[in-house]
Structure 1
Amino acid sequence: MKAEDSVTGTVAFQLGKLGQMATGRFADRLAPYGLRPRHCAVLELLAARAKAQLELARAIGVTPSVVVDMLDELEKLDALRRVRDTADRRRQLIELTAEGQKLRRTAARLARETDEELLGSLTAEEATALRRVLGRIASVSGVPAGG
């Protein structure tokens, strides 16, 4: 069988398998803090300023109900709070708490540790090139920020 006839030789398959493995390793590091990888995009998006639930859902490319679930989980960790929007009392804004900022910094550190583990066999130049290429693939593929 030729390499081009093999599913396992495709970029789609290899990125999928590597993604599963990387997510598993990252999830293992996050678990002691009550976090999951899916929480990290929310923490990052809220770091700059409070946002509405619908705005978060659009930014990370998930349905509003999925965002509600993530917010409920993060609220149990005291990572965020829901506050009424002073400009529109019908809507709630989500803001990060001091604990949420601390968890965001912890998640970033754990992500860097996971990167170091995954990229350990590459030279610095290779790791930089990989990040650049993956970023370009993500941007042209319409992958939402943090998604």
Structure 2
Amino acid sequence: MTVEGSLTNTVGFLLGKLGQQANGQFADRLAPLGLRPRHCAVLELLAGGPRAQLELAKAVGVTPSVVVDMLDELETLDAVRRVRDTADRRRQLIELTSTGLDLRHQTLSLARQNDEELLSAIDPTEVAALRQILGRIAAATGLVEK
């Protein structure tokens, strides 16, 4: 069988394997901060302003109970706080603290380091083209906004 006919040469397989490697390396970088990759999505979403727990769960793509666990972990790090919604006292909003904002900046720096390591085999022009192409694919599949 030729390499062209191999499962390991499909885009999905290669992206999956590279994603596993990148996620593992990113997790290693985050560990000293007490964070995991799944926390980064929450920090990023909250950077846009306070959100309800249920809204966060939907945006991250996890069950409400999982987002509660994630928020508990982030609250332990003083990265987020729960506050009552002034418009609906029955609802809690989650907001980023100054520590959370700092952690978000640190995670971005670590993600960039991860990218540099992962993309070190290609030149800057290829990196820019890859980012553009991956962005278009992600937008077309609904993973990110267009």
TM-score normalized by the length of structure 1: 0.93
Q: Which has the higher contact order (CA 8 A, sep 6+)?
A: 1
Matched residues in 1 for 2:84 and 2:111: separation? 32
What stretches of structure 1 move > 6 A for 4+ residues in a row?
none
Matched residues in 1 for 2:117 and 2:42: separation? 24
**Equivalent position of 2:140 in the other structure:** 140
* Higher deviation after alignment, 52-61 or 99-108: 52-61
* Higher deviation after alignment, 71-80 or 135-144: 135-144
Is it true that 1:89 corresponds to 2:89 in the alignment?
Answer: yes
Is it true that 1:67 corresponds to 2:67 in the alignment?
Answer: yes
Query: Gaps spanning 5+ residues in structure 2: where?
Result: none
Note if contact 1:60-1:144 (Cα within 8 Å) is conserved in structure 2: no
- Determine helix, strand or coil for the equivalent of 1:93: strand
Note if contact 1:25-1:114 (Cα within 8 Å) is conserved in structure 2: yes
TM-score normalized by the length of structure 2: 0.94
**1:4 Cα deviation from its structure 2 partner:** 4.4
Is it true that 1:3 corresponds to 2:3 in the alignment?
Answer: yes
Matched residues in 1 for 2:16 and 2:121: separation? 20
Identity fraction in percent: 68
Matched residues in 2 for 1:66 and 1:133: separation? 32
The residue identity in structure 2 corresponding to 1:19 is G
* Higher deviation after alignment, 28-37 or 113-122: 113-122
The residue identity in structure 2 corresponding to 1:80 is V
Is it true that 1:27 corresponds to 2:22 in the alignment?
Answer: no
